[in-house]
Structure 1
Protein backbone atom coordinates (compact mmCIF):
# COMPACT_ATOMS: atom_id res chain seq x y z
CA UNK A 1 0.00 0.00 0.00
CA UNK A 2 1.15 3.54 -0.72
CA UNK A 3 0.88 4.52 2.93
CA UNK A 4 3.47 1.87 3.86
CA UNK A 5 5.82 2.50 0.93
CA UNK A 6 8.75 4.65 2.14
CA UNK A 7 9.39 5.87 -1.40
CA UNK A 8 5.93 7.49 -1.47
CA UNK A 9 6.27 10.87 0.23
CA UNK A 10 2.75 12.24 -0.28
CA UNK A 11 -0.64 11.17 -1.59
CA UNK A 12 -2.99 12.95 -3.98
CA UNK A 13 -6.58 11.87 -3.48
CA UNK A 14 -8.52 12.42 -6.70
CA UNK A 15 -12.23 12.58 -5.94
CA UNK A 16 -15.01 12.53 -8.51
CA UNK A 17 -18.06 11.28 -6.64
CA UNK A 18 -21.53 12.40 -5.53
CA UNK A 19 -21.12 10.43 -2.31
CA UNK A 20 -22.56 7.15 -1.11
CA UNK A 21 -23.62 5.08 1.87
CA UNK A 22 -22.64 6.45 5.25
CA UNK A 23 -20.62 3.60 6.77
CA UNK A 24 -18.30 3.06 3.76
CA UNK A 25 -17.66 6.81 3.55
CA UNK A 26 -16.76 6.89 7.23
CA UNK A 27 -14.50 3.84 6.81
CA UNK A 28 -12.57 5.53 4.00
CA UNK A 29 -12.23 8.70 6.06
CA UNK A 30 -11.00 6.73 9.07
CA UNK A 31 -8.35 4.92 7.02
CA UNK A 32 -7.14 8.17 5.46
CA UNK A 33 -6.73 9.67 8.92
CA UNK A 34 -4.29 6.87 9.79
CA UNK A 35 -1.91 7.82 6.98
CA UNK A 36 1.12 9.64 8.34
CA UNK A 37 1.95 11.35 5.06
CA UNK A 38 0.69 14.57 3.51
CA UNK A 39 -2.59 14.11 1.66
CA UNK A 40 -3.90 16.55 -0.93
CA UNK A 41 -7.50 16.19 -2.13
CA UNK A 42 -8.13 17.12 -5.76
CA UNK A 43 -11.79 17.44 -6.71
CA UNK A 44 -12.85 16.59 -10.24
CA UNK A 45 -16.31 17.18 -11.68
CA UNK A 46 -17.97 16.55 -8.34
CA UNK A 47 -17.02 15.86 -4.75
CA UNK A 48 -20.38 16.26 -3.09
CA UNK A 49 -21.79 15.01 0.20
CA UNK A 50 -19.80 11.84 1.00
CA UNK A 51 -17.23 12.92 -1.58
CA UNK A 52 -16.68 16.13 0.36
CA UNK A 53 -16.66 14.20 3.65
CA UNK A 54 -13.71 12.12 2.37
CA UNK A 55 -11.90 15.22 1.08
CA UNK A 56 -11.89 16.60 4.62
CA UNK A 57 -9.37 13.92 5.60
CA UNK A 58 -6.78 15.70 3.45
CA UNK A 59 -4.29 18.30 4.63
CA UNK A 60 -5.14 20.52 1.65
CA UNK A 61 -8.31 20.54 -0.48
CA UNK A 62 -8.36 21.82 -4.06
CA UNK A 63 -11.22 22.10 -6.54
CA UNK A 64 -11.80 23.50 -9.98
CA UNK A 65 -13.93 26.66 -10.10
CA UNK A 66 -16.81 24.69 -11.58
CA UNK A 67 -16.55 21.58 -9.41
CA UNK A 68 -19.83 20.63 -7.73
CA UNK A 69 -19.20 20.13 -4.03
CA UNK A 70 -20.90 20.69 -0.70
CA UNK A 71 -24.31 19.00 -0.44
CA UNK A 72 -23.50 18.54 3.24
CA UNK A 73 -26.32 16.52 4.70
CA UNK A 74 -27.96 13.14 4.94
CA UNK A 75 -30.76 11.64 2.91
CA UNK A 76 -32.97 8.61 3.38
CA UNK A 77 -35.40 7.72 0.63
CA UNK A 78 -37.42 4.82 -0.66
CA UNK A 79 -40.13 4.12 -3.21
CA UNK A 80 -43.75 3.75 -2.12
CA UNK A 81 -45.65 1.19 -4.22
CA UNK A 82 -48.85 0.88 -2.20
CA UNK A 83 -50.92 2.78 -4.77
CA UNK A 84 -49.73 0.50 -7.57
CA UNK A 85 -50.48 -2.62 -5.54
CA UNK A 86 -53.97 -1.32 -4.73
CA UNK A 87 -54.68 -0.68 -8.42
CA UNK A 88 -53.69 -4.16 -9.55
CA UNK A 89 -55.32 -5.89 -6.58
CA UNK A 90 -52.21 -7.21 -4.87
CA UNK A 91 -51.82 -7.42 -1.11
CA UNK A 92 -48.47 -7.69 0.68
CA UNK A 93 -48.53 -9.78 3.87
CA UNK A 94 -45.95 -9.29 6.65
CA UNK A 95 -45.22 -11.29 9.80
CA UNK A 96 -42.86 -9.32 12.04
CA UNK A 97 -41.38 -9.37 15.54
CA UNK A 98 -41.75 -5.71 16.39
CA UNK A 99 -43.62 -2.52 15.55
CA UNK A 100 -40.79 -1.01 13.51
CA UNK A 101 -39.36 -4.14 11.84
CA UNK A 102 -40.77 -3.31 8.40
CA UNK A 103 -40.35 0.46 8.65
CA UNK A 104 -39.94 1.89 5.18
CA UNK A 105 -41.75 -0.94 3.45
CA UNK A 106 -42.76 0.19 -0.06
CA UNK A 107 -46.03 -1.69 0.33
CA UNK A 108 -47.70 0.54 2.91
CA UNK A 109 -47.86 4.13 4.11
CA UNK A 110 -45.24 5.29 6.60
CA UNK A 111 -46.70 5.97 10.07
CA UNK A 112 -45.93 9.13 12.01
CA UNK A 113 -44.05 7.11 14.65
CA UNK A 114 -41.92 5.50 11.96
CA UNK A 115 -41.22 8.85 10.35
CA UNK A 116 -40.06 10.17 13.73
CA UNK A 117 -37.73 7.18 14.21
CA UNK A 118 -36.21 7.61 10.76
CA UNK A 119 -35.84 11.37 11.20
CA UNK A 120 -34.01 10.80 14.50
CA UNK A 121 -31.56 8.50 12.72
CA UNK A 122 -31.03 11.01 9.92
CA UNK A 123 -30.47 13.80 12.46
CA UNK A 124 -27.92 11.72 14.39
CA UNK A 125 -25.91 10.87 11.28
CA UNK A 126 -26.18 14.50 10.12
CA UNK A 127 -24.59 15.63 13.39
CA UNK A 128 -21.79 13.12 12.84
CA UNK A 129 -21.19 14.67 9.41
CA UNK A 130 -21.15 18.20 10.83
CA UNK A 131 -18.84 17.20 13.68
CA UNK A 132 -16.35 15.65 11.25
CA UNK A 133 -16.23 18.75 9.06
CA UNK A 134 -16.04 21.08 12.06
CA UNK A 135 -13.05 19.14 13.36
CA UNK A 136 -11.32 18.87 9.98
CA UNK A 137 -11.90 22.53 9.04
CA UNK A 138 -11.64 23.85 12.58
CA UNK A 139 -8.78 26.17 11.70
CA UNK A 140 -11.06 28.21 9.42
CA UNK A 141 -14.66 27.33 10.38
CA UNK A 142 -16.56 27.07 13.65
CA UNK A 143 -19.18 24.37 14.12
CA UNK A 144 -21.91 27.02 13.95
CA UNK A 145 -20.56 28.17 10.59
CA UNK A 146 -20.50 24.60 9.33
CA UNK A 147 -24.14 24.16 10.35
CA UNK A 148 -25.08 27.25 8.32
CA UNK A 149 -23.48 25.65 5.26
CA UNK A 150 -24.80 22.15 5.95
CA UNK A 151 -28.32 22.47 4.59
CA UNK A 152 -27.79 20.20 1.60
CA UNK A 153 -27.02 22.96 -0.89
CA UNK A 154 -24.51 22.48 -3.70
CA UNK A 155 -21.56 24.85 -4.08
CA UNK A 156 -19.37 25.51 -7.08
CA UNK A 157 -15.67 25.24 -6.38
CA UNK A 158 -15.44 29.02 -6.27
CA UNK A 159 -18.36 29.30 -3.86
CA UNK A 160 -16.85 26.58 -1.68
CA UNK A 161 -13.57 28.48 -1.52
CA UNK A 162 -15.40 31.66 -0.52
CA UNK A 163 -17.19 29.64 2.19
CA UNK A 164 -13.89 28.15 3.43
CA UNK A 165 -14.92 24.60 2.59
CA UNK A 166 -11.70 24.17 0.63
CA UNK A 167 -8.25 25.73 0.58
CA UNK A 168 -7.65 26.85 -2.97
CA UNK A 169 -8.71 26.52 -6.57
CA UNK A 170 -6.60 24.30 -8.77
CA UNK A 171 -6.51 21.26 -10.99
CA UNK A 172 -4.85 17.87 -10.65
CA UNK A 173 -1.36 19.06 -11.71
CA UNK A 174 -1.64 21.82 -9.09
CA UNK A 175 -2.51 19.21 -6.46
CA UNK A 176 0.45 17.06 -7.48
CA UNK A 177 2.77 20.05 -7.21
CA UNK A 178 1.49 20.91 -3.72
CA UNK A 179 1.78 17.27 -2.61
CA UNK A 180 5.39 17.22 -3.79
CA UNK A 181 6.15 20.35 -1.80
CA UNK A 182 4.47 18.99 1.34
CA UNK A 183 6.36 15.73 0.93
CA UNK A 184 9.70 17.50 0.65
CA UNK A 185 10.30 16.29 -2.91
CA UNK A 186 12.85 18.28 -4.87
CA UNK A 187 12.15 18.86 -8.53
CA UNK A 188 9.24 17.33 -10.43
CA UNK A 189 7.53 14.55 -8.44
CA UNK A 190 7.28 11.07 -9.94
CA UNK A 191 3.61 10.11 -9.92
CA UNK A 192 2.29 6.60 -9.30
CA UNK A 193 -1.32 6.32 -10.40
CA UNK A 194 -3.99 3.91 -9.27
CA UNK A 195 -7.23 4.68 -11.05
CA UNK A 196 -10.66 3.12 -10.98
CA UNK A 197 -11.90 1.75 -14.29
CA UNK A 198 -15.03 3.43 -15.61
CA UNK A 199 -17.76 1.84 -17.67
CA UNK A 200 -18.60 2.97 -21.20
CA UNK A 201 -21.86 4.49 -19.87
CA UNK A 202 -19.96 6.54 -17.29
CA UNK A 203 -17.54 7.76 -19.94
CA UNK A 204 -20.36 8.77 -22.29
CA UNK A 205 -22.62 10.60 -19.83
CA UNK A 206 -20.05 11.71 -17.28
CA UNK A 207 -21.97 10.28 -14.33
CA UNK A 208 -20.29 8.03 -11.80
CA UNK A 209 -21.58 5.88 -8.98
CA UNK A 210 -25.25 6.08 -9.90
CA UNK A 211 -27.44 4.19 -7.42
CA UNK A 212 -28.26 0.66 -8.59
CA UNK A 213 -31.81 0.04 -9.76
CA UNK A 214 -32.50 -2.36 -6.89
CA UNK A 215 -31.88 0.44 -4.38
CA UNK A 216 -35.28 1.82 -5.39
CA UNK A 217 -36.94 -1.16 -3.70
CA UNK A 218 -34.53 -1.83 -0.83
CA UNK A 219 -35.17 -0.97 2.84
CA UNK A 220 -34.36 2.64 3.73
CA UNK A 221 -30.74 3.47 4.46
CA UNK A 222 -28.96 6.73 5.18
CA UNK A 223 -26.56 8.07 2.59
CA UNK A 224 -24.19 10.96 2.07
CA UNK A 225 -25.16 11.45 -1.55
CA UNK A 226 -25.98 14.23 -3.99
CA UNK A 227 -28.37 13.11 -6.73
CA UNK A 228 -29.05 15.11 -9.85
CA UNK A 229 -32.16 14.15 -11.78
CA UNK A 230 -31.79 13.32 -15.46
CA UNK A 231 -35.24 14.70 -16.15
CA UNK A 232 -38.25 16.42 -14.61
Structure 2
Protein backbone atom coordinates (compact mmCIF):
# COMPACT_ATOMS: atom_id res chain seq x y z
CA UNK A 1 0.00 0.00 0.00
CA UNK A 2 2.79 2.42 0.93
CA UNK A 3 4.61 1.73 -2.37
CA UNK A 4 1.41 2.45 -4.32
CA UNK A 5 0.89 5.74 -2.48
CA UNK A 6 4.51 6.74 -3.16
CA UNK A 7 4.17 5.97 -6.88
CA UNK A 8 0.84 7.82 -7.03
CA UNK A 9 2.36 10.82 -5.28
CA UNK A 10 5.26 10.89 -7.75
CA UNK A 11 2.84 10.66 -10.69
CA UNK A 12 0.68 13.48 -9.32
CA UNK A 13 3.76 15.67 -8.78
CA UNK A 14 4.85 15.09 -12.38
CA UNK A 15 1.40 15.98 -13.74
CA UNK A 16 1.27 19.19 -11.68
CA UNK A 17 4.80 20.15 -12.75
CA UNK A 18 3.98 19.58 -16.42
CA UNK A 19 0.79 21.62 -16.13
CA UNK A 20 2.66 24.52 -14.50
CA UNK A 21 5.31 24.46 -17.23
CA UNK A 22 2.62 24.61 -19.93
CA UNK A 23 0.88 27.53 -18.21
CA UNK A 24 4.17 29.43 -17.83
CA UNK A 25 5.06 28.92 -21.49
CA UNK A 26 1.63 30.10 -22.64
CA UNK A 27 1.86 33.13 -20.34
CA UNK A 28 5.27 34.07 -21.72
CA UNK A 29 4.00 33.70 -25.28
CA UNK A 30 1.00 35.90 -24.52
CA UNK A 31 3.20 38.53 -22.90
CA UNK A 32 5.53 38.54 -25.87
CA UNK A 33 2.64 39.31 -28.19
CA UNK A 34 1.78 42.29 -25.97
CA UNK A 35 -1.99 41.98 -26.26
CA UNK A 36 -3.92 44.67 -24.41
CA UNK A 37 -6.70 43.83 -21.98
CA UNK A 38 -10.20 44.59 -23.18
CA UNK A 39 -13.61 44.38 -21.63
CA UNK A 40 -16.83 43.40 -23.34
CA UNK A 41 -20.31 44.51 -22.42
CA UNK A 42 -22.72 41.65 -21.78
CA UNK A 43 -26.44 42.49 -21.85
CA UNK A 44 -29.23 39.95 -21.38
CA UNK A 45 -33.00 40.37 -21.21
CA UNK A 46 -34.29 38.39 -18.24
CA UNK A 47 -37.87 38.43 -19.55
CA UNK A 48 -36.84 36.27 -22.51
CA UNK A 49 -34.77 33.97 -20.33
CA UNK A 50 -37.71 33.42 -17.98
CA UNK A 51 -40.15 32.82 -20.85
CA UNK A 52 -37.79 30.26 -22.41
CA UNK A 53 -37.46 28.35 -19.15
CA UNK A 54 -41.19 28.38 -18.48
CA UNK A 55 -41.85 27.04 -21.98
CA UNK A 56 -39.43 24.18 -21.44
CA UNK A 57 -41.16 23.29 -18.19
CA UNK A 58 -44.57 23.33 -19.88
CA UNK A 59 -43.29 20.99 -22.60
CA UNK A 60 -41.88 18.54 -20.07
CA UNK A 61 -45.28 17.20 -18.98
CA UNK A 62 -46.73 16.88 -22.50
CA UNK A 63 -46.93 13.87 -24.78
CA UNK A 64 -45.38 13.99 -28.23
CA UNK A 65 -48.49 15.26 -30.03
CA UNK A 66 -49.25 18.04 -27.55
CA UNK A 67 -45.58 19.04 -27.44
CA UNK A 68 -45.54 19.45 -31.21
CA UNK A 69 -48.64 21.63 -31.12
CA UNK A 70 -47.23 23.74 -28.29
CA UNK A 71 -43.97 24.33 -30.17
CA UNK A 72 -45.92 25.55 -33.19
CA UNK A 73 -47.91 27.90 -30.97
CA UNK A 74 -44.71 29.25 -29.39
CA UNK A 75 -43.21 29.94 -32.83
CA UNK A 76 -46.41 31.64 -33.95
CA UNK A 77 -46.44 33.85 -30.87
CA UNK A 78 -42.79 34.81 -31.44
CA UNK A 79 -43.45 35.74 -35.08
CA UNK A 80 -46.50 37.79 -34.12
CA UNK A 81 -44.50 39.64 -31.49
CA UNK A 82 -41.65 40.33 -33.93
CA UNK A 83 -44.03 41.69 -36.60
CA UNK A 84 -46.15 43.81 -34.27
CA UNK A 85 -45.79 47.53 -35.11
CA UNK A 86 -43.83 49.51 -32.56
CA UNK A 87 -46.51 52.18 -32.59
CA UNK A 88 -49.27 49.83 -31.37
CA UNK A 89 -50.59 50.65 -27.93
CA UNK A 90 -49.70 47.23 -26.50
CA UNK A 91 -46.16 47.56 -27.78
CA UNK A 92 -45.46 51.10 -26.70
CA UNK A 93 -42.05 51.40 -25.14
CA UNK A 94 -41.94 49.75 -21.76
CA UNK A 95 -39.65 51.13 -19.08
CA UNK A 96 -36.38 49.28 -18.66
CA UNK A 97 -35.00 47.97 -15.41
CA UNK A 98 -31.21 47.81 -15.64
CA UNK A 99 -29.66 45.28 -13.26
CA UNK A 100 -26.10 45.71 -11.99
CA UNK A 101 -24.14 43.49 -9.61
CA UNK A 102 -21.56 44.48 -7.02
CA UNK A 103 -19.82 41.81 -4.96
CA UNK A 104 -17.43 43.60 -2.66
CA UNK A 105 -14.19 42.52 -1.02
CA UNK A 106 -12.18 44.45 1.57
CA UNK A 107 -10.70 46.73 -1.12
CA UNK A 108 -13.97 47.13 -3.09
CA UNK A 109 -12.05 45.87 -6.12
CA UNK A 110 -15.13 45.91 -8.35
CA UNK A 111 -15.42 49.72 -8.12
CA UNK A 112 -13.64 50.51 -11.39
CA UNK A 113 -15.84 48.16 -13.39
CA UNK A 114 -18.92 49.43 -11.51
CA UNK A 115 -18.10 53.03 -12.40
CA UNK A 116 -17.68 52.16 -16.09
CA UNK A 117 -21.03 50.37 -16.12
CA UNK A 118 -22.72 53.43 -14.66
CA UNK A 119 -21.03 55.65 -17.25
CA UNK A 120 -22.41 53.44 -20.01
CA UNK A 121 -25.91 53.57 -18.52
CA UNK A 122 -26.01 57.33 -18.04
CA UNK A 123 -25.77 57.84 -21.78
CA UNK A 124 -28.84 55.73 -22.63
CA UNK A 125 -31.11 55.60 -19.59
CA UNK A 126 -34.57 57.18 -19.84
CA UNK A 127 -36.64 59.09 -17.34
CA UNK A 128 -38.95 56.18 -16.50
CA UNK A 129 -36.18 53.58 -16.27
CA UNK A 130 -34.84 52.10 -13.06
CA UNK A 131 -31.48 50.76 -11.94
CA UNK A 132 -31.43 47.78 -9.58
CA UNK A 133 -28.17 47.00 -7.81
CA UNK A 134 -27.77 43.49 -6.40
CA UNK A 135 -25.30 44.26 -3.65
CA UNK A 136 -23.25 41.87 -1.52
CA UNK A 137 -20.50 43.22 0.71
CA UNK A 138 -19.35 42.93 4.35
CA UNK A 139 -17.48 46.25 4.02
CA UNK A 140 -13.81 47.11 3.97
CA UNK A 141 -11.48 50.09 3.55
CA UNK A 142 -13.07 53.50 4.10
CA UNK A 143 -11.63 55.21 1.05
CA UNK A 144 -12.40 52.24 -1.22
CA UNK A 145 -16.08 52.06 -0.30
CA UNK A 146 -16.31 55.84 -0.22
CA UNK A 147 -15.37 55.81 -3.91
CA UNK A 148 -17.83 52.98 -4.68
CA UNK A 149 -20.63 54.94 -2.97
CA UNK A 150 -19.65 58.08 -4.90
CA UNK A 151 -19.93 56.15 -8.17
CA UNK A 152 -23.40 54.94 -7.21
CA UNK A 153 -24.34 58.49 -6.19
CA UNK A 154 -23.88 59.58 -9.80
CA UNK A 155 -27.22 57.91 -10.56
CA UNK A 156 -28.89 59.88 -7.76
CA UNK A 157 -27.43 63.11 -9.10
CA UNK A 158 -28.81 62.23 -12.55
CA UNK A 159 -32.24 61.70 -10.90
CA UNK A 160 -32.37 58.03 -11.90
CA UNK A 161 -34.66 55.81 -9.82
CA UNK A 162 -32.53 53.28 -7.95
CA UNK A 163 -33.20 50.20 -5.85
CA UNK A 164 -30.70 48.11 -3.91
CA UNK A 165 -31.44 44.44 -3.31
CA UNK A 166 -29.51 42.70 -0.54
CA UNK A 167 -29.79 38.93 -0.47
CA UNK A 168 -26.91 38.15 1.90
CA UNK A 169 -25.00 41.06 3.41
CA UNK A 170 -24.54 44.83 3.15
CA UNK A 171 -22.64 45.88 6.25
CA UNK A 172 -20.30 48.75 7.10
CA UNK A 173 -18.96 50.02 3.75
CA UNK A 174 -21.50 47.82 2.01
CA UNK A 175 -24.32 49.66 3.78
CA UNK A 176 -22.61 52.98 2.97
CA UNK A 177 -23.14 52.06 -0.70
CA UNK A 178 -26.65 50.71 -0.17
CA UNK A 179 -28.04 53.84 1.43
CA UNK A 180 -27.36 55.79 -1.79
CA UNK A 181 -30.42 54.11 -3.37
CA UNK A 182 -33.97 55.44 -3.31
CA UNK A 183 -35.22 52.15 -1.87
CA UNK A 184 -33.52 49.32 -0.01
CA UNK A 185 -34.84 45.77 -0.12
CA UNK A 186 -33.33 42.84 1.79
CA UNK A 187 -33.98 39.16 2.34
CA UNK A 188 -35.29 38.29 5.85
CA UNK A 189 -31.93 36.95 7.05
CA UNK A 190 -29.64 39.32 5.15
CA UNK A 191 -27.07 41.04 7.39
CA UNK A 192 -27.54 44.82 7.51
CA UNK A 193 -25.91 47.72 9.34
CA UNK A 194 -22.55 47.74 11.14
CA UNK A 195 -22.42 51.54 10.95
CA UNK A 196 -19.12 51.87 12.74
CA UNK A 197 -15.36 52.09 12.23
CA UNK A 198 -12.72 49.66 13.43
CA UNK A 199 -8.91 49.61 13.26
CA UNK A 200 -6.34 47.38 14.89
CA UNK A 201 -2.62 46.81 14.63
CA UNK A 202 -0.08 44.78 16.61
CA UNK A 203 2.80 46.38 18.49
CA UNK A 204 6.01 44.43 19.13
CA UNK A 205 7.99 47.23 20.77
CA UNK A 206 8.39 45.39 24.09
CA UNK A 207 9.66 42.27 22.30
CA UNK A 208 12.23 44.33 20.42
CA UNK A 209 13.26 46.15 23.57
CA UNK A 210 13.70 42.85 25.43
CA UNK A 211 16.13 41.72 22.74
CA UNK A 212 18.00 45.05 22.70
CA UNK A 213 16.71 46.03 19.25
CA UNK A 214 16.23 49.75 18.67
CA UNK A 215 13.79 51.21 16.17
CA UNK A 216 14.23 54.76 14.91
CA UNK A 217 10.99 56.37 13.72
CA UNK A 218 11.57 59.80 12.20
CA UNK A 219 8.64 62.03 11.24
CA UNK A 220 8.02 65.60 10.18
CA UNK A 221 4.64 66.67 11.46
CA UNK A 222 3.26 66.12 14.92
CA UNK A 223 0.72 63.48 13.91
CA UNK A 224 2.44 61.95 10.89
CA UNK A 225 2.47 58.70 12.88
CA UNK A 226 0.19 58.10 15.85
CA UNK A 227 0.31 54.36 16.51
CA UNK A 228 3.03 52.16 15.03
CA UNK A 229 3.88 48.46 14.89
CA UNK A 230 7.54 48.71 15.86
CA UNK A 231 7.90 51.92 17.88
CA UNK A 232 6.76 52.80 21.39
CA UNK A 233 3.21 54.13 21.35
CA UNK A 234 2.24 57.11 23.50
CA UNK A 235 -1.01 58.20 25.12
CA UNK A 236 -1.05 61.26 22.88
CA UNK A 237 -0.76 59.03 19.83
CA UNK A 238 -3.59 56.79 21.06
CA UNK A 239 -5.87 59.76 21.70
CA UNK A 240 -5.20 61.15 18.24
CA UNK A 241 -5.83 57.76 16.66
CA UNK A 242 -9.18 57.50 18.49
CA UNK A 243 -10.07 61.03 17.42
CA UNK A 244 -9.47 60.04 13.81
CA UNK A 245 -11.73 57.00 14.22
CA UNK A 246 -14.47 59.12 15.76
CA UNK A 247 -14.18 61.67 12.97
CA UNK A 248 -14.53 58.91 10.35
CA UNK A 249 -17.54 57.56 12.23
CA UNK A 250 -19.17 60.99 12.22
CA UNK A 251 -18.63 61.29 8.47
CA UNK A 252 -20.17 57.84 8.03
CA UNK A 253 -23.25 58.80 10.09
CA UNK A 254 -23.65 62.10 8.26
CA UNK A 255 -23.47 60.39 4.88
CA UNK A 256 -26.17 57.88 5.83
CA UNK A 257 -28.37 60.54 7.46
CA UNK A 258 -28.33 62.73 4.35
CA UNK A 259 -29.60 59.82 2.24
CA UNK A 260 -32.01 58.35 4.79
CA UNK A 261 -33.19 61.42 6.77
CA UNK A 262 -36.00 59.53 8.55
CA UNK A 263 -33.53 57.09 10.09
CA UNK A 264 -32.67 57.51 13.81
CA UNK A 265 -28.95 57.48 13.11
CA UNK A 266 -27.81 57.61 16.74
CA UNK A 267 -29.87 54.51 17.54
CA UNK A 268 -28.40 52.42 14.71
CA UNK A 269 -24.85 53.80 14.35
CA UNK A 270 -23.52 51.62 17.16
CA UNK A 271 -21.58 49.17 15.01
CA UNK A 272 -24.29 46.53 15.49
CA UNK A 273 -25.77 44.39 12.73
CA UNK A 274 -29.39 43.43 12.19
CA UNK A 275 -31.06 40.80 10.06
CA UNK A 276 -33.41 41.99 7.34
CA UNK A 277 -36.61 41.32 9.31
CA UNK A 278 -35.23 43.48 12.12
CA UNK A 279 -33.69 46.13 9.86
CA UNK A 280 -37.04 46.95 8.24
CA UNK A 281 -38.43 47.83 11.67
CA UNK A 282 -35.68 50.30 12.56
CA UNK A 283 -35.66 51.94 9.13
CA UNK A 284 -32.35 50.64 7.79
CA UNK A 285 -34.22 49.14 4.83
CA UNK A 286 -37.64 49.70 3.26
CA UNK A 287 -38.90 46.28 2.19
CA UNK A 288 -38.38 42.57 2.77
CA UNK A 289 -37.84 40.19 -0.12
CA UNK A 290 -35.24 38.65 -2.38
CA UNK A 291 -33.81 40.21 -5.51
CA UNK A 292 -35.22 37.38 -7.61
CA UNK A 293 -38.75 38.06 -6.37
CA UNK A 294 -38.40 41.81 -7.01
CA UNK A 295 -37.13 41.34 -10.57
CA UNK A 296 -39.91 38.86 -11.30
CA UNK A 297 -42.41 41.45 -10.10
CA UNK A 298 -40.88 44.15 -12.33
CA UNK A 299 -40.94 41.85 -15.39
CA UNK A 300 -44.72 42.17 -15.45
CA UNK A 301 -44.43 45.87 -16.35
CA UNK A 302 -40.90 46.41 -17.71
CA UNK A 303 -38.04 44.95 -19.67
CA UNK A 304 -35.47 43.71 -17.18
CA UNK A 305 -31.92 43.76 -18.54
CA UNK A 306 -28.73 42.63 -16.83
CA UNK A 307 -25.64 44.63 -17.71
CA UNK A 308 -22.06 43.64 -16.92
CA UNK A 309 -18.60 44.50 -18.15
CA UNK A 310 -16.58 41.32 -18.45
CA UNK A 311 -12.84 41.22 -18.85
CA UNK A 312 -11.70 39.29 -21.89
CA UNK A 313 -9.28 36.65 -20.65
CA UNK A 314 -6.29 35.82 -22.76
CA UNK A 315 -5.26 32.29 -23.66
CA UNK A 316 -2.74 32.15 -20.82
CA UNK A 317 -5.26 33.29 -18.23
CA UNK A 318 -7.91 30.86 -19.47
CA UNK A 319 -5.43 27.98 -19.38
CA UNK A 320 -4.25 28.92 -15.90
CA UNK A 321 -7.83 29.18 -14.67
CA UNK A 322 -8.69 25.79 -16.13
CA UNK A 323 -5.69 24.14 -14.49
CA UNK A 324 -6.45 25.84 -11.18
CA UNK A 325 -10.08 24.73 -11.23
CA UNK A 326 -9.07 21.20 -12.20
CA UNK A 327 -6.61 20.90 -9.33
CA UNK A 328 -9.12 22.39 -6.91
CA UNK A 329 -11.77 19.91 -8.03
CA UNK A 330 -9.32 16.99 -7.70
CA UNK A 331 -8.31 18.00 -4.17
CA UNK A 332 -11.96 18.48 -3.19
CA UNK A 333 -12.83 15.05 -4.61
CA UNK A 334 -10.03 13.35 -2.68
CA UNK A 335 -11.17 15.12 0.49
CA UNK A 336 -14.76 13.97 -0.05
CA UNK A 337 -13.66 10.36 -0.60
CA UNK A 338 -11.56 10.39 2.55
CA UNK A 339 -14.42 11.91 4.52
CA UNK A 340 -16.86 9.32 3.21
CA UNK A 341 -14.41 6.55 4.10
CA UNK A 342 -14.11 7.95 7.61
CA UNK A 343 -17.88 7.89 8.09
CA UNK A 344 -18.05 4.32 6.76
CA UNK A 345 -15.42 3.13 9.22
CA UNK A 346 -17.45 4.54 12.08
Q: Deviations over 1:149-196 (max 9, x none)?
A: 111011111111111100011111234356x4xxxx863533224288
Q: Secondary structure at the match of 2:135?
A: strand
Q: Which structure carries more helix by proportion?
A: 2
Q: Distance in 2 between matches of 1:3 and 1:84?
A: 56
Q: Give the deviation of 1:74 after TM superposition.
A: 1.3
2:217 matched to 1:103? no
Other-structure match for 2:292? 173
Q: Secondary structure at the match of 1:191?
A: strand
Q: Secondary structure at the match of 2:223?
A: coil
Q: 1:102 to 1:163 in 2, by over 3 A?
A: same
Q: Secondary structure at the match of 2:185?
A: strand
Other-structure match for 1:57? 180
2:226 matched to 1:113? no
Q: 1:194 to 1:85 in 2, by over 3 A?
A: farther
Q: Give the deviation of 1:128 after TM superposition.
A: 1.3
Which region of structure 1 is more displaced relative to structure 2, 69-78 or 162-171?
A: 69-78
Q: Which runs of 4+ in 1 moved over 4 A?
A: none
Q: Deviations over 1:125-159 (max 9, x none)?
A: 11111112212111x32xxx211111101111111
RMSD, aligned α-carbons: 2.7
Given that 1:32 and 1:57 are in contact with CA atoms closer than 8 Å, whether structure 2 keeps it comes out as yes
2:106 matched to 1:2? no
Q: Greater RCO between the two (CA within 8 Å, min separation 6)?
A: 1
**Equivalent residue in structure 2 for 1:149, among 255, 268, 285:** 268
Other-structure match for 1:15? 135
Which region of structure 1 is more displaced relative to structure 2, 21-30 or 85-94?
A: 85-94
TM-score, with length taken from structure 1: 0.72
Given that 2:295 and 2:304 are in contact with CA atoms closer than 8 Å, whether structure 1 keeps it comes out as no
TM-score, with length taken from structure 2: 0.50
What does residue range 1-232 of structure 1 map to in structure 2 within 5 Å? 1-6=120-125, 9-35=129-155, 36-86=159-209, 88-138=211-261, 140-141=262-263, 145-177=264-296, 180=298, 187-194=301-308
Q: Give the deviation of 1:114 after TM superposition.
A: 1.1
